[in-house]
């Protein structure tokens, strides 16, 4: 654990994190207070803040005292204390704690990377004898959108999405880090490096999308073949049914493990209906192909084909689930889910209204078929009323009932539905980005932990080989662990065997996808290199005609300046780190100098102000020069030009030069 002291002013406090040999770890300390005590301390601290202190300002002494008491656990404690009126302050305190931990870790050891520190602070739990929530898990539990929206946290979550557990400083390094000498060794290293990228959530999500596209293509092939009702399934059709079996197994696992959360998720209702329809279609087809009666076989095959056709709309709706890693699609899914949940009472009123009028109309027109009456009412609700069918036997009472029904359904309930959708949109839109960050962070952590230590997942149909070859090995490993609970060597041996088998099965199943993506990346890299060479050639030719130095040659390198202007720390120096400013959400950059000291750079907003003022000063200097030239001509007896027609630039009234005061904050 992190070492700490209850009196931060006594002596020198131990470092928050220990780093050695490019590894960041948590210093063990048995005196670290329990998490519950740290949460109580944070709650009391926030409650004692003066009412005059703004909600978006956390005093520095509060950050220091909290960090001195709880160490890195105070980040998770602050988030778990984010309740009620102090929720916003608790989240801001958590952000300040993260920034200070990163700053102190960098001051202690300048070779430590920011993501290594953040990995330990935000994704690790405290080792207090029981499972505690990490900082990111606590943020998801209390829906800390302010904390997740902060620049330092959101950037780190994006890095996890792109790199996975590759940024874990304590992760066992794989043999891809070695430097081979032979050509075959270098080729094998490239292959291993490419496979390593498939362990990241970003590549795993790409795998899901590619498998989904293959799934849709197979569906279109089956639903459009002419021989569906005449022949046995072909090889491609059996592959499609293997996808269906994988979907069924995946849904059963979710229902058994997380029934409540599964059925309350919007994406479930995009997945469950088509899966049930496809499985039913397969069952009817197999029954039909084993029937002895020709009529029964045709009837079952027709039912199977109709069920298969019903899947098409749901399959396209599933694209929302498959593409929810993209921000726009994810926000659409959030809006639709919110609107449907808030409008459930309108649909309930619609059902009650239809059932009530169904009974009334059928009681009057007793000779009419009951389902015909329901069809007329449903068509009326869909703005296609059939007055002749409703008023066939007793026109006066049925006309009154039908007009009343149409008014309630098409005017009242429709208006209520529209109003409910608008209210849902207006209520969620201001916080839509924060809700998206919650969803994206939850998806990132789920992808990070879904593949065990390998980081590899098995979307259908790959979950069938996983169930056959990998899961039994996991059961044997658990059984061995229960029989020999204190045999660490045996447990590690089983874990390594399980990981190797899982990796081998994954490569064998998804090798075509890996090769396809590898080919696409090679083509893209070659095209990018060709485009870069063409661009450099054009710039070199242009500079040779203009007599200026080539931008591709020995020109001034402005990457660091551009990185600061864009606010992009990823393109800055590898020895720099960043944290949010105390009065705004922009980054301050610190470059490590000699001896591990840090020299502050200019904040982004201030740098932009300086460049803007310099441009205006240059324009005003040109205007002054033109004014002086005009005065000189007048004094020398030259023909006076219309000075009023001169361009005075930005000169103030009466020809005076005015300079505004530049206020440089936080520097």
pLDDT of residue 552 exceeding 70, the answer is no
* Pair 193, 46 in one domain: yes
Tell me, what's the pLDDT at 245? 93
Both 156 and 49 in a single domain? yes
Asked if 475 and 482 count as a contact pair (C-beta separation under 8 A), the reply is no
Question: Which of the listed residues 412, 429, 446 is the one where a domain comes to its end?
Answer: 429
pTM of the model: 0.69
Query: Residue 576 and residue 114: Cα distance in Å, rounded?
Result: 9
pLDDT (average), residues 128-156: 83
Please give the Cα distance from 296 to 282 (Å, whole number).
16
Share of the chain above pLDDT 90, in %: 15
**Cα(633)–Cα(641) distance, rounded to whole angstroms?**
9
pLDDT at 348 over 90: yes
Percentage above 70 pLDDT, the chain: 73
State the alpha helices, DSSP H only, in 171-267.
Answer: 183-197, 201-223, 235-257, 259-263
Pairing mode, strands 587-592 and 598-600? antiparallel
Residue 120 lies in a domain: yes
Contact yes or no for 130/121 (Cβ under 8 A): no
Is pLDDT at 161 greater than 80 in this prediction? yes
pLDDT recorded at residue 373? 82
Lowest-pLDDT range, 28-42, 445-459, 488-502, 617-631? 28-42
Least confident of 238-242, 409-413, 619-623: 619-623
Nearest Cα to Cα of residue 147 among 102, 90, 104: 90
Q: Is the pLDDT of residue 478 over 50?
A: yes
Instruction: Specify the pLDDT at position 613.
Output: 76
**Sorting pLDDT into bands at 50, 70 and 90, what band is 244?**
very high
For the stretch 581-617, pLDDT in tens is 333 333 333 444 434 444 445 555 666 677 677 777 8
CA–CA distance, 7 with 20 (Å, rounded to integer): 27
How large is the average pLDDT for residues 61-69? Answer: 81
Do 306 and 357 reside in the same domain of the chain? Answer: no
Same domain, 67 and 142: yes
- Is residue 549 situated within a structural domain? no
Q: DSSP assignment, residue 231? A: S
Q: Are residues 138 and 91 in the same domain?
A: yes
Asked which of 293, 323, 353 is the last residue of a domain, the reply is 323
- The residue among 323, 352, 372 that closes a domain is 323
DSSP state of 20: E
**388: pLDDT strictly greater than 60:** yes
pLDDT higher at 52 or 532: 532
Pick from 315, 387, 388, 401: which is nearest to 358 by CA? 401
Banded model confidence at residue 411, pLDDT cuts 50, 70, 90: very high
Residue with the larger pLDDT of the pair 61 and 594 = 61
Same domain? For 233 and 281 the reply is yes
Nearest to 490 by CA among 482, 449, 170: 482
Domain annotation covers residue 436: no
Considering only CA atoms, which of 406, 444, 417, 435 is closest in space to residue 339?
A: 417
Is the pLDDT at 172 greater than 70, yes or no?
A: no
The per-residue pLDDT for range 467-476, each reduced to its tens digit, is 888 888 888 8
What is the token pair recorded at 530? 């060709």
pLDDT at residue 54 in the model: 57
- Per the model's pLDDT, the better-predicted residue between 7 and 466 turns out to be 466
Instruction: Give whole-number Cα distances, 595 to 105, 591, 598, in Å.
Output: 15, 12, 9
Cα separation, 354 vs 362, in Å, equals: 12
Q: Which of 106-115, 179-188, 405-414 has the lowest mean pLDDT?
A: 179-188
pLDDT score, position 603: 58
Check if the beta carbon of residue 119 is closer than 8 Å to that of residue 159: no
Is residue 275 within 8 Å of 241, Cβ to Cβ? no
Contact between residue 52 and residue 11 where contact means Cβ atoms under 8 Å apart: no
Q: What is the radius of gyration, based on Cα positions, of the chain?
A: 34
In a domain, 220, yes or no: no
Mean pLDDT of the chain: 75
Cβ neighbours for 629, distance < 8 A, ≥ 6 positions apart = none
Q: How many domains does the chain have?
A: 4
Determine the Cα–Cα distance for residues 75 and 2; give it in Å rounded to an integer: 12
3 state SS of 23:
strand
Position 206 pLDDT exceeds 80: yes
Q: Is residue 637 left, alpha or beta, with left meaning phi > 0 and alpha meaning psi from -120 to 50? A: left
Cβ–Cβ < 8 Å for 136, 75: no
According to the model, what pLDDT value does residue 560 have?
A: 38
Phi/psi for 663 (5° steps) reads -95, 110
What tokens were used for 642? 């219309």
Cβ atoms < 10 Å from Cβ of 534 = 10
List the domain range (segments joined by +) for residue 517. Answer: 462-539
Tens of pLDDT, residues 10-49: 333 444 554 444 444 444 445 567 777 788 888 887 777 7
631: in domain: no
In the predicted model, is pLDDT for residue 644 greater than 90?
no
Q: Which pLDDT band, with edges at 50, 70 and 90, does 551 fall under? A: very low
pLDDT at 648 over 50: no
The answer on 101 and 167 residing in a single domain is yes
Q: Do 386 and 475 sit in the same domain of this protein?
A: no
DSSP characters for 287-298?
A: HHHT-SSHHHHH
Any domain includes 77: yes
- Confidence (pLDDT) at 353: 92
Q: Would residue 292 count as lying in a domain? A: yes
Tell me, yes or no, whether 86 and 139 share the same domain.
Answer: yes
Position 59 pLDDT exceeds 70: yes
Which of 166-175, 185-194, 196-205, 525-534 is the least confident region? 166-175
Q: How confident is the model at residue 555 (pLDDT cuts 50, 70, 90)?
A: very low
Average pLDDT score over residue span 341-367: 87
* pLDDT of 420 above 90: yes
Least confident of 2-16, 68-82, 249-263: 2-16
Same domain, 47 and 189: yes
* Better-scored residue on pLDDT, 192 or 60: 60
Q: Is 54 part of a structural domain of the chain?
A: yes
Residue 487 has pLDDT above 60, yes or no: yes
Same domain, residue pair 140 and 274:
no
> Is pLDDT of 664 > 60?
no
Q: What's the angle, vertex CA 18, arms to CA 12 and CA 20, rounded to 5?
A: 125
Q: What is the mean pLDDT of residues 517-542?
A: 84
Token look-up 């959400």 returns 585
| Closest to 570 (Cα-Cα) out of 188, 263, 248, 162 | 162
C-alpha to C-alpha distance for 123 and 72, rounded to whole angstroms:
11
CA distance 653 to 519: 67
Whether 164 shows a pLDDT value over 50: the answer reads yes
Higher pLDDT: 86 or 428? It is 428
Q: Are residue 43 and residue 188 in the same domain, yes or no?
A: yes
**Cβ atoms of 123 and 134 closer than 8 Å:** yes
């Amino acid at each position: 654990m992190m070492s700490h002291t209850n009196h931060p002013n006594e002596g020198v406090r131990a470092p928050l994190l220990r780093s050695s040999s490019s590894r960041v770890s948590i210093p063990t300390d048995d005196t670290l207070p329990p998490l519950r005590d740290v949460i109580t301390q944070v709650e009391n601290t926030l409650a004692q803040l003066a009412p005059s202190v703004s909600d978006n300002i956390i005093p520095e002494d509060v950050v220091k005292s909290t960090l001195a008491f709880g160490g890195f656990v105070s980040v998770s404690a602050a988030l778990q204390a984010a309740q009620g009126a102090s929720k916003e302050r608790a989240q801001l305190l958590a952000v300040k704690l993260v920034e200070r931990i990163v700053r102190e870790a960098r001051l202690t050891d300048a070779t430590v990377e920011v993501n290594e520190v953040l990995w330990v602070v935000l994704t690790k739990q405290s080792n207090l004898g029981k499972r505690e929530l990490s900082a990111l898990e606590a943020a998801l539990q209390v829906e800390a959108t302010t904390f997740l929206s902060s620049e330092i946290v959101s950037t780190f979550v994006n890095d996890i999405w792109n790199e996975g557990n590759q940024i874990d400083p304590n992760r066992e390094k794989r043999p891809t880090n070695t430097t081979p000498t032979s050509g075959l060794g270098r080729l094998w290293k490239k292959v291993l490096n490419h496979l390593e990228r498939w362990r990241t959530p970003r590549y795993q999500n790409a795998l899901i999308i590619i498998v989904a596209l293959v799934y849709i293509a197979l569906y279109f092939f089956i639903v459009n073949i002419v021989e569906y009702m005449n022949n046995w399934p072909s090889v491609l059709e059996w592959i499609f049914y293997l996808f269906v079996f994988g979907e069924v197994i995946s849904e059963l696992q979710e229902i058994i493990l997380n029934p409540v959360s599964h059925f309350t998720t919007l994406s479930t209702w995009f997945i469950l209906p088509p899966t049930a329809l496809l499985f039913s279609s397969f069952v009817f087809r197999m029954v039909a192909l084993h029937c002895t009666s020709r009529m029964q076989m045709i009837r079952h095959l027709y039912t199977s084909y109709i069920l298969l056709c019903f899947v098409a709309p749901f399959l396209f709706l599933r694209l929302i689930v498959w593409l929810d890693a993209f921000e726009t699609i994810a926000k659409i899914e959030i809006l639709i889910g919110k609107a449907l949940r808030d409008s459930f009472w309108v649909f309930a009123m619609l059902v009650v209204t239809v059932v009530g009028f169904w009974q009334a109309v059928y009681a009057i027109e007793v000779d009419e078929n009951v389902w015909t009456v329901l069809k007329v009412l449903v068509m009326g609700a869909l703005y296609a009323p059939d007055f002749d069918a409703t008023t066939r036997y007793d026109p006066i009472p049925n006309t009154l009932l039908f007009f009343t029904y149409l008014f309630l359904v098409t005017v009242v309930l429709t208006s209520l539905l529209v109003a409910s959708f608008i209210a849902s949109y207006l209520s969620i839109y201001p916080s839509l980005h924060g809700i998206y960050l919650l969803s994206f962070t939850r998806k990132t952590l789920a992808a990070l932990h879904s593949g065990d230590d390998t980081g590899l997942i098995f979307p259908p149909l790959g979950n069938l080989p996983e169930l056959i070859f990998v899961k039994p090995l996991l059961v044997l490993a658990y059984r061995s662990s229960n029989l020999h609970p204190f045999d660490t060597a045996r447990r590690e041996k089983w874990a390594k065997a399980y990981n190797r088998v899982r990796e081998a099965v994954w490569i064998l199943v998804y090798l075509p996808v890996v090769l396809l993506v590898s080919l696409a990346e090679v083509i893209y890299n070659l095209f990018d290199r060709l485009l870069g060479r063409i661009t450099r050639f054009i710039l070199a030719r242009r500079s040779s005609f203009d007599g200026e130095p080539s931008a591709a040659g020995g020109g001034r390198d402005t990457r660091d300046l551009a990185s600061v202007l864009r606010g992009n720390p990823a393109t800055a120096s590898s020895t720099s780190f960043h944290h949010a400013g105390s009065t705004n959400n922009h980054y301050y950059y610190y470059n490590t100098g000699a001896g591990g000291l840090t020299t502050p750079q200019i904040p982004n907003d201030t740098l932009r102000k300086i460049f803007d003022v310099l441009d205006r000063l240059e324009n005003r200097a040109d205007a002054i020069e033109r004014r002086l030239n005009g005065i000189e001509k007048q004094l020398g007896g030259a023909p006076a030009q219309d000075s009023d027609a001169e361009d005075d630039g930005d000169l103030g009234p009466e020809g005076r030069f005015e300079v505004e005061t530049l206020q440089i904050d936080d520097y």
